[in-house]
Amino acid sequence: MALDYYLEIDEYGTQDRLNKLRSFIRNEFSFPDDEKTKIMLGNGLGINFFVDDDNDNESVSSITPVLTISFRVDKMQLREQGYKLLRQVVQKVLDNVETNLRLTDEYNDDIFLKRESGKTSKMHLDHDIWQVGEG
């Protein structure tokens, strides 16, 4: 069982940027990846990258294409490690990508983090995404 989250990065959706960011994250965290699926695996976390150039949901801005990083967090034994890695990867992206972005759940119902016009806000601070594996 797993929980899915998506980090949508506006104005960043090119294959070249995807490859560079993917390589950067893989190297920063020493994540192995599957050559067939291109999914990176960390302790309790699976990560995939894709460009959504037909984005029909409410992205941070109306500009497309959007680069999306999907996270799959283990819901059982490795839950704490998965959430901790997710937060670390998101922080690396925040530190290295300067465009608008947002972190949502799999249904796009809740926004957990949003950066717009250079201002970053965390929301739902009592949610597991911020609490589990902290400290």
Confidence label for 34 from pLDDT (cuts 50, 70 and 90):
confident
pLDDT of residue 61: 47
Average pLDDT, the chain: 86
Tokens of 26: 């893989």
Domain that holds residue 18: 2-131
pLDDT of residue 60: 46
pLDDT of residue 135: 59
Query: Is residue 96 over pLDDT 80?
Result: yes
Mean pLDDT of 43-56: 79
Mean pLDDT of 107-119: 90
Number of domains in the chain: 1
pTM comes to 0.86
Query: What's the CATH code of the domain at 7?
Result: 3.30.70
Tokens of 12: 């960043």
Contact 49, 21 (CB under 8 A): yes
Identity of residue 43: N
Least confident of 30-44, 54-68, 79-93: 54-68
Q: How far apart are CA 29 and CA 12, in angstroms?
A: 21
Q: How far apart are CA 45 and CA 42, in angstroms?
A: 5
Of the chain, the percentage scoring pLDDT greater than 70 comes to 90
